[in-house]
Each structure stands twice: as structure tokens, then as C-alpha cells.
Structure 1
Amino acid sequence: MSAVMEATAPPVVRGEQRRTWAAVFALARFEARELLQHIPVAVTLLFYVGYTGWKLMSPPDGMDAYPALQDADRATQTAPLLFAIALFVCVNRAALRDRRRGTDRHFDVLVMEPWRRTAAHALSVVPFGVLTALVVGAQFTWQALRPGAVGHGSVFELAVAPLYVLLFGALGLLVARLIPSAFAAPLAVIGLFTALLFVSTGTGGAWTRWLSPVVGESSSSTLPSELIGRPAGWHALYLGGLVLVAALAAVLFAPRDAVFRLPRRGGWSRSSPRPFGALVGLGGALVLAVTGAVGQSGGVSSELAAARERASVAPEKEQSCVRHGGSQYCAFGEWTGRTGTWAGVVDRIQALAGGAAADRSLLVRQRIDARYGLDGDSAIAPSTTPGQVTVGTRWGGNRVPEFAVGVASVLVGGDEKKGGELCDGRVVTVMWLALGGDPDPVADLKNVRLDDSLSGSAVVLAPTSSLSMSAGQTDVVRELLVSKPRAEVTAAVKSHWAQLTAPGVTTAEVARVLGTEVPKGADECGK
């Protein structure tokens, strides 16, 4: 007596398919909760959210109080890196849980196919990508709401962190399906970072670094949004394609079913084939990833290079100017709202000056060197135009006293080039004008000096040419700021302006006129 088992698959109705996918989503929710209970994921996620929240709630200080949003969007990209690595390892571990515990053979009698269980693992990563997107959005919005914020952010730059969190999770799942071993994940992490280091410093130059999920910039400069030229949109497409490639490849490499498995209704059925939709989707995902990779390797267009050249050598063609008081302020479009802040510094300095300098009309112009994009960090050459003062694109912190030094040196020297060449007693006059009306002049004197000192000789920073302060000049300036009443020094500067700004005046003569201790030794002009 024998029995023949039919191998014909029963018909699948639409409602049954909906129930099957409901089970997939239910399993995905379960796996997401399980991931959250893994110590590496929980700790790194708590650190990421806590650190970001602490930075947001800290009182803005220095340049952080004046963010440029075209820089703030990129600042969101590196923080969740540890969280992404933890997700990689823990998703890999979760996908191997059944093999590790020896329960995988029992799944052959379940209704849900192995590829659907793999799809549930892939979907379990999505909540963490969404959470990363919420943190990134909160971080950027907080910066955008600051009163000193300027510029425009990019939604594609903001998408980088959530996308590579999803990518790391999907890669952890793919490694589990390709190499079902607990030792594979740590080795894969090492290999991944070795590969990223190679592509970021490889022989391909600029285009190879865009194969890395996060592409940083070596420059501290801030450029107008339209001159940045990062292929952020193509890079987001590239990362999105990689996420889909990794997830769909993991589904396709899911373990095979047993030859016979329990049916959904009546009779036995053979194992279902690999999902054809996943194979088609993998092909489409590869097209997206390759398209993004090719698009982001295009380099700088001729139009962008020409725009950068104009902004660098002829900024007056790209700027709009406004007048505050007796001076004119010219800035790129995103910074026109900050001209009033610059005018406040100029007015404060001219209030301490005497002679014609107190009412002199200045031209404050924003200047940048954008010819090399965000990879360049070259100094701005001093202007030889009488009365022109350079201001940069960053503000707050040390940039304020540096700009003040630039204004004062032009008032005393005539232009930026001559002001940077001052080395006699006029340096004392410049430093008094720059810092005498400052709320915390001693701290700014320390911050504006290259070695952060309050004694001895030092280089004083300015937007263009730096100044040199001798030890004697430092002593006189420090005494003026600390020991002498501001009103008394201001009156002396105004009444002896011609003498204090005369070429060749010594530091000793300036000290006597301003009523401070005369420094010992002839230490002006490098002596």
C-alpha cells in the first residue's frame, strides 16, 4: 500500500498575502525591540541622543552662536557612527540567533518562509534610521532657529546620517546571510573601515572619497551655499541604492526551505522559490547605486568654477552693499543681515579714535577664497584700497576681536597692507582701539594672540595680515586695559591722536603720552 503526495501548490488568495505580510511586520517590530535591548545598541543610541541634546542645550558660545546652515547640515553626519557600528554587529547577531541556538531547523515547519524572516530583520532596522532622522532634524532646526544663523542647509546632506545607519544595519544582515558565523561581524567591521580608509585616500583623488558614506572637508572656511559644490543629491542617491542592494541581497541569500513544508491549507507543498520581486528590486537598486556613484564623481563644473573665481577675485560683482552710519558694508547675499553687527564693532572702535579717523568712512567688504572649494584654506591677501576692511564669513568668538584689529589697523595705517606692516609704537594704538571698548578686553587680548599669552612678544591675528607685538608693547597694552580708566585713556588718545599715529613713534613715547610705565629696551620693529 502506498500513498502519493501531490506537489501542487495551493492557490494563494489576496487576503492570505496580506496576513503573511502582517506577520512579517509583526516580526520586524519584535526584532526591533530585541535590537533595542542589546547593550551596544542601547548604550551607543543613548550616547548619541544624549550628546546631541547636551550640545543643543548648552549656551551658544563663540562661533557656535553664529552658525552657517550650509555647515550645520554636514555637522550632523559623523555623530551616529558608533551607533551605526553597534547596529551592524547586533543585527548580524540577531540574524544568527537561531543558528547559534540550534533552533533554525525547526523553522522548516513554520508558515513564514526564510526569505520573509530575513525581510523582517531588514525592516527592523528602519525604526533606528527614522530615529536618527529625527535627531538630525532636531539638531539642524535648533541651529536654524538661532538669532545669528545664516545660509541654507541641504536636505540631502541631512539624509546622510539616517541612510548610513540603515546601510550599516543592512550590511550586518547581509554578512550574516553570506557568512553565517559569529566571527564574521568583527572582521567585517575591520575590513569595512580599511576599505573606507583606502577609498578616502586612494589614487582616484577627489572622486574616490565619495564612495565613503561620510565625506568630510579639511577646510574650516565657510562658503556661500551656491559655491559649495558638493554632490549631496547624488551621494544620497548612492547611499540609498546601497541600502536597498544590501537589504535585497540579504533576502535573496536567505536559507532555502525544506523540500516539503506544512501547507497553509490542505495538502503538502514544495518550498516556494526565491521572490522574483526581490531579484528585480536588486537590479533596480544596483542601477540607483551606480547612477549615484557616477553622478557624484563628476567633479566641479565649469560654471561653478567660474562663480568661485568671481567671488574670490571680484566679490563686488556678487555682493550687495548697505550703509550704516558713515560706512558702507558689502556682503554676499546670505550675510547681508549681519552687516549691522559689523557696524556695531566699527562704531565702537571709531568712538575711541581721534582726529579724522573718528569720522572716517570705511568700506567693510566680505572676502573669501573659494577657488578650491571646501578643500582650500588659503589666507586672504591684504587689500591696498584705502579705507577698505576685510571681514570673513565666520563670526563670533575670536573672529570678533580679529575683525576689530583689522578695523583699527586700517584707521591707523590707512589700508590693510600698511596696517599689517606696523611695528612701532602705533601697534599700541591699534590694540587699544581694537580692545579698549570691548566688554572683556583682557580675554580678547589673549584670544587674539597666536600663542594665547598675555606677556612677551606674539603674533596678533587679523582677517588678512597679522601684526607683531613686542614684549614691551604687550606690557603697555595690558596696563592700559587692566589698570587705566577707559575714559582717561580715551581722552588721551583723542587729544594726542596725531602723535600716537605718526610713523616712527616709539612704544616708550606712546607709553608716556598715555600715562603708563615706559617699557625697558628698544624692542620695536623686531629689535
Structure 2
Amino acid sequence: MSTALETPARAVEPARPPRPWAAVFALARFEARELRMTVPFLGIAALYVAWIVWQTTQRQGDYPVLQDVDRDTQGMSVLLGLAVLLGVNRAVLRSHRCDTDRHFEVLVVEPWRRTVAHVLSVVPAALFTAVCVGVQFTWAALKPGAVGHGSPAELAVGPLTVLLFGVFGVLVARLVPSVFAAPVLLVLLLFALLFVASPSGTAWTSWLGPVVTESGATPFPSDLLERPAAWHALYLVGFCLFVAVVAVLVSGGRTTVVKAAVAGSLALTLVGAVGQSGGTPPGSTPARDRASLTPDKVQSCLTHDRSTYCAYPEWTGRTADWAAVVDRVQNLAGGRAGGERLTVQQRVDARHGLGSQAVLSPFDEPGRVSVGTAWGGNRVPEFAAAVAAVLVLGNEKAALEPICDARVVTIMWLALGADPDPMAALRDVRVDDSVSGSAIVLSPTEPFSMSAEQTRIVRELLQKPRYSVIPKVKARWTELTSARTTTAEAARLLGVPAATGAETGTGGGPCEE
């Protein structure tokens, strides 16, 4: 009788299902960390942070216009995007350079899933850019002198640019598996950005690029910009998605979902491109004409002390700063000028487009003073000079003719005499940043000139104690504001020593022989 030996069957545990997407996310985290440690990315990121810190410490940034600040956040994203393009391109080609592509065939992560991981590795770099953009804009918005309104669409351009460059680097690596392709592409992109795209933003081709900053000398009210910012952001979103899914498609991911995503992202890109095709208007529009020619219809007026201040809606909070300058100037004036009621009106000439350098025409009505949309830095002594000129000459238009008498000395003393740093203000208000010789004095409208002798007298007055000059100016106000009083007589009335032979040298001004 034979006995059969039976071995109890071992229970077989069910096989754990593969989790390819967990591997995709793990690879994306690894590649993102490697990308952040590349030399180009670290260098540009450090430069980006240093640039933001430097901007926040500049004195002229104390009065930011937020609809200009949001565009200023876009420029550095191009450099960061180029660094990301190089870094992610090298990461995708790492297995090709090291000849390890054949080993990936035994893994559960197919080539198209690895492409997805490389695309996802770009997202932290875009988030880093978004944080930098947010810090830069928020810092400006929190300043007491900030005015205007930023655009979320404009703020999104920087992060989207980095994302676009990154996914483009992935696509190039999948199409051309060569380490030389990315540098060549980098040169071509720089050429396109510098020479092909129009910097003005008026041509539709310029909006096909990622960044169109468009900055002019004069800030515009936000409703006069008329930039297709929202359409451009939509275009960039669609373009990023299109490049990313095409990279997945050429890597072998030919599923129905991927093909549908290619069609959907292409449609989104085309919708954004058509919407932005008008670009920024190069000149007049009804809103710009109304704000330029009839500002009274769109402005609000406030009264501070004895004068009236009219400003565009976004600038009404700045009227107190203008009033402080007007009071400072009038406190030094004599006669009726010390109590004259002025009308300060903010003006902008938007009829020639965002990048125009248009000069405001001076008022010919008495007691009216122009002020621009920019403030802080040199703009403060320029406005003070305009106020002083109206108090002395009666109106802004009178300053168009060369003034070769005592009135220039009086104007400049009123404008700068009560400034916290009068000598620095004297440099700031002159075109050549000098405190000697003849020069052109800037103002919100047309500039006027100072002779070398007038400059010398003003410099001597500004170096004297203020309390010693104010009584002389007020006591001799009639003579100092008369066209019949010469510059030499003004020096004598104000107690300034007569010029020596060396000090009367010609400087080429209209009032000098």
C-alpha cells in the first residue's frame, strides 16, 4: 500500500497592480530637483532675486504705477525661461548621452510617461517665477505712494513664459535627440526676441512672442492701455498645453485622450492668437482722445487749503503730495503769490500711443499748473519749478520765451529753497545734472533755460540759511518778479556777491552773449 505525500498548496497573494503614475510623479520630483541645481538656473535665479531687491530699494520706486509694475515683472522671466529650456533639454537627453535608453524598455514607465514627467518637472520653476512676480508686485502695491490697478493677466505672463520655454525644451529633445539642438535653438530664440518681434506691441506679430512689455515715458491710466492682455494669457496657456501634448504624442503616447488634448489645445491657442491679433492701438482711440483733450470730463477735483487739484480717478490719492509741494513753494513767495488760488490739473497726452514721448502744451490761463502721471525722484522738483513759474510769470506759456532777467532766479529759489536737499534737487531738475553753467530746466510741460550767472546766484542762495533769504525775497518781491530787473540787480537785492571774471564766462545759453 503506497502512501501519497501531499504538500499543502501555498496561498498565492494577488499581484500588486503596477502604479506607473506614481513612478511618473516620483521621476518628476527628481528631475525638478535636478533642474533647480543646474548652474544656469541657479545663476539666473540669483540674478532675478537680486534684481527684485535692487528695484525695491530705489527711491524713484516710492510712487509706483501698478499698471506699469505688472508689465515690469515680465522681462526677467525670459532669461529664466531660457535657462530652464537648456536644463530640461539636457535632462531629457541624459539617457541618450549615457546610452541607457535600452534599459528603460524593462520598466513600467513608457517613454511617453517619462516625457510627461519631464514636462511636470518644469512646473516648480514656473511656480518660483510666480512667487517672484507676486513679491515684486505686492511690494510695490503696499507702498504708500502706489496708484493704479495691476492686471492678473499681465502678472501671469512671467510664469507662463517659463513654462512655455521649459516644455519647448522637452519637445526639442524628443524631436532632435542631440545636445547641440538646444544651444542652436537658444540662439534662434534670442534672435527672434531681439530682432523679429516688434517692441512697440502695435504689430500683431509682436504678440506671438511670449513677452510684450511696451513701456513709455509717461504712465497711462489703466483704462487707456488697451492691451489685449487677457487674450495673450489665453494664447500662452493654449500654446504651453499644445507644445506639452505634442511632446507626449511624438514620444509614443498616441491615446485618444492625447489626440483630443492636441486638438483642444491647438484650438485654445488659435482663439487666443485671434483675440490678441489687434495688438495695442498705436495712436488715438475715443478714450485716449477724451482723457487727453477734455480731461475735465473724466477727472475728479479735490480742494486742499486754498487750491484745487484735479486728477484722473486712480491718482486722486496723490493730490495731497502735490498740495504739499504747492504749499512749500507758496510759503516762500511774497506779495499776492503767497496766497494765490491755483488750479493744479493732471494731464497726459495719450493720443500718440503707449510708447510716445509727447510733451504737454503749457496752459495760457493764469493760475493753472500742469502735473503729469509720474511722481517721485526728479518729477518733484520739476513740478515745483512749474508752480514757481506760474506764481512769478502768471501762466505756464510765458516760460516759452527766453527769460534773461531776475525772474529765473526767483523761480528757482521758490522751487528749491524749501526742498529737503536743495542742491540735489537743483541737479535733478536740470538736463545735464549740473550745478554750474547754463542748462535747461525741466518741467511737466515745456522746459526753460538758465544762464550761467543765474545758476551761480541760485546756487549761492541755496547754500545760505533759508531764514536769511526768505525775508529778502518777500521784501523785494515786486522787483524780483519784474522783467525790468536784471540778473545782476537780483544778486544785489538778495545779497549775493557780484560775479568775478571767471564766473561770467559764457555757457552757450540763450541769455548769454
Q: For residues 78 and 202 of structure 1, what CA distance do their matches in structure 2 show?
A: 12
Contact residue 214 and residue 354 of structure 2 kept, 8 A: yes
Contact residue 391 and residue 403 of structure 1 kept, 8 A: yes
**Structure 1, unaligned stretches of length 5 or more?**
1-14, 257-272
Of 348, 351, 373, the match for 1:368 = 348
Q: For residues 200 and 477 of structure 2, what CA distance do their matches in structure 1 show?
A: 59
| 1:67 is aligned to 2:64 | yes
Q: For residues 282 and 361 of structure 2, what CA distance do their matches in structure 1 show?
A: 25
Of 267, 270, 286, the match for 1:287 = 267
Q: Which residue does the alignment assign to 1:242? A: 239
Amino acid at match of 2:36: L
Q: Which residue does the alignment assign to 1:423? A: 404
Q: What CA deviation, in whole Å up to 9, does each residue of 1:172-225 have, x standing for no partner? A: 001001101000000011112223334414999622111111112241210111
Q: For residues 488 and 202 of structure 1, what CA distance do their matches in structure 2 show?
A: 53
Q: For residues 204 and 316 of structure 1, what CA distance do their matches in structure 2 show?
A: 29
Aligned ranges for residues 207-356 of structure 1 at < 5 Å? 207-254=204-251, 256=252, 274-299=254-279, 305-356=285-336
1:51 CA drift (Å): 3.2
Q: Which residue does the alignment assign to 2:416? A: 435
Q: Which residue does the alignment assign to 1:445? A: 426
Of 334, 337, 357, the match for 1:357 = 337
Q: What CA deviation, in whole Å up to 9, does each residue of 1:448-507 have, x standing for no partner? A: 11111111110011111111100110110000111x321221111111111110123210
1:20 CA drift (Å): 2.3
Q: Which residue does the alignment assign to 1:82? A: 79
Compared CA separation, residues 145 and 445, structure 1 to 2 (3 A): same
Compared CA separation, residues 489 and 198, structure 1 to 2 (3 A): closer
1:325 CA drift (Å): 1.0
Aligned ranges for residues 12-91 of structure 1 at < 5 Å? 19-56=19-56, 58=57, 60-61=58-59, 63-91=60-88
Amino acid at match of 2:322: W
Q: Which residue does the alignment assign to 2:110? A: 113
Contact residue 166 and residue 243 of structure 1 kept, 8 A: yes
Q: What CA deviation, in whole Å up to 9, does each residue of 1:122-164 have, x standing for no partner? A: 0110111111111111111111000111110001110011000
Q: What CA deviation, in whole Å up to 9, does each residue of 1:80-130 have, x standing for no partner? A: 332211110111111011111111011112111111110111011011111
Compared CA separation, residues 279 and 423, structure 1 to 2 (3 A): farther
Indicate the SS of the match to 1:502: coil
Contact residue 403 and residue 462 of structure 1 kept, 8 A: yes
Indicate the SS of the match to 1:80: helix
Q: For residues 399 and 24 of structure 1, what CA distance do their matches in structure 2 show?
A: 55
Of 153, 169, 189, the match for 2:166 = 169
1:430 CA drift (Å): 0.3
1:304 CA drift (Å): 8.1
Amino acid at match of 2:115: T
Of 394, 399, 403, the match for 1:414 = 394
Q: Which residue does the alignment assign to 1:525? A: 511
Q: What CA deviation, in whole Å up to 9, does each residue of 1:246-265 have, x standing for no partner? A: 111111111x5xxxxxxxxx
Q: What CA deviation, in whole Å up to 9, does each residue of 1:229-283 have, x standing for no partner? A: 11110111111111111111111111x5xxxxxxxxxxxxxxxx62221111111
1:48 CA drift (Å): 1.9
Compared CA separation, residues 370 and 205, structure 1 to 2 (3 A): closer
1:54 CA drift (Å): 4.6
Q: For residues 371 and 465 of structure 2, what CA distance do their matches in structure 1 show?
A: 30
- Identity of matched residues, %: 56
Amino acid at match of 1:222: P
Contact residue 163 and residue 240 of structure 1 kept, 8 A: yes
Contact residue 66 and residue 396 of structure 1 kept, 8 A: yes
Count, aligned residues: 491
Q: For residues 406 and 51 of structure 1, what CA distance do their matches in structure 2 show?
A: 34
1:299 CA drift (Å): 4.1
Normalised by the length of structure 2, the TM-score is 0.92
Indicate the SS of the match to 1:373: coil
Q: CA RMSD in A?
A: 2.1
Normalised by the length of structure 1, the TM-score is 0.89
Contact residue 235 and residue 292 of structure 1 kept, 8 A: yes
Indicate the SS of the match to 2:212: coil
Compared CA separation, residues 485 and 42, structure 1 to 2 (3 A): closer
Contact residue 225 and residue 280 of structure 2 kept, 8 A: no
Amino acid at match of 1:516: V
Contact residue 122 and residue 169 of structure 1 kept, 8 A: yes
Contact residue 88 and residue 172 of structure 1 kept, 8 A: yes
Contact residue 404 and residue 487 of structure 2 kept, 8 A: no
Q: Which residue does the alignment assign to 2:191? A: 194
Amino acid at match of 2:191: T
Of 450, 466, 469, the match for 2:447 = 466
Indicate the SS of the match to 2:75: coil
Q: For residues 445 and 205 of structure 1, what CA distance do their matches in structure 2 show?
A: 38
Q: Which residue does the alignment assign to 1:261? A: none
Q: For residues 514 and 303 of structure 1, what CA distance do their matches in structure 2 show?
A: 49
Which range moved further: 341-350 or 209-218?
Answer: 209-218
Amino acid at match of 1:21: W
Which range moved further: 24-33 or 88-97?
Answer: 24-33
Q: For residues 129 and 504 of structure 1, what CA distance do their matches in structure 2 show?
A: 67
Amino acid at match of 2:174: R
Q: For residues 149 and 503 of structure 1, what CA distance do their matches in structure 2 show?
A: 41
